[in-house]
């Protein structure tokens, strides 16, 4: 009889710890003047599934963007996109505080060093867990 309240509490806690990301199925159309600097496919990490591809582009104004195509990852409570020098959060620039699945265009802050920060991380900030990455 005591198992039912515990099971209910455990299921409630599990549901509270997951957050479904938004989804965008609209294709990203690049301008003919956009230059693709590098591209890679995502890989899962820490037992999480992360798929899709990413391109680092520079537009005619010199602004940089990450283009995610067919991106998908497991749900998590505090997922972020980082550009990092490795698969850790030691030397990174936060790209986005929210995760959107599907096709996404994210501006890269001018403070990011895309010459050294070549890993795109899907990072759970709350628990310091890498959900997935792509090495540009």
pLDDT in tens, 16-55: 345 566 777 888 999 999 999 999 999 999 999 999 999 9
pLDDT at 6: 46
Total-model pTM: 0.83
Instruction: Please list, in sequence order, all residues whose beta carbon lies within 8 angstroms of the beta carbon of residue 70, skipping any fewer than 6 positions away.
Output: 51, 52, 53, 102, 103
Contact status, residue 111 vs residue 95, Cβ threshold 8 Å: no
Please provide the average confidence, as pLDDT, over all residues in the chain: 88
Count of C-beta atoms within a 10 Å radius of residue 99: 24
Higher model confidence: residue 24 or residue 80?
Answer: 80
Contact status, residue 121 vs residue 95, Cβ threshold 8 Å: no
Instruction: Please list, in sequence order, all residues whose beta carbon lies within 8 angstroms of the beta carbon of residue 130, skipping any fewer than 6 positions away.
Output: 45, 46, 87, 88, 121, 122, 123, 124
Q: Residue 15 is encoded by which pair of tokens?
A: 């549901």
- pLDDT above 70 covers a percentage of the chain that reads 85
First to last CA, the chain: 54
């Amino acid at each position: 009889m005591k198992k039912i309240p515990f099971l209910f509490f455990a299921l409630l806690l599990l549901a509270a710890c997951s957050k479904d990301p938004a989804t965008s199925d609209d294709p990203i159309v690049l301008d003919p003047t956009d230059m693709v600097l590098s591209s890679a496919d995502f890989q899962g990490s820490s037992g999480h599934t992360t798929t899709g591809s990413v391109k680092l582009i520079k537009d005619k104004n010199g602004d940089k963007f990450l283009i995610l195509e067919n991106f998908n990852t497991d749900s998590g409570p505090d997922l972020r996109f980082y550009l990092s020098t490795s698969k850790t959060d030691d030397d990174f620039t936060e790209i986005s505080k929210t995760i959107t699945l599907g096709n996404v265009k994210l501006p890269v802050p001018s403070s990011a060093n895309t010459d050294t920060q070549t890993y795109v991380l899907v990072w759970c900030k709350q628990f310091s867990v890498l959900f997935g990455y792509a090495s540009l």
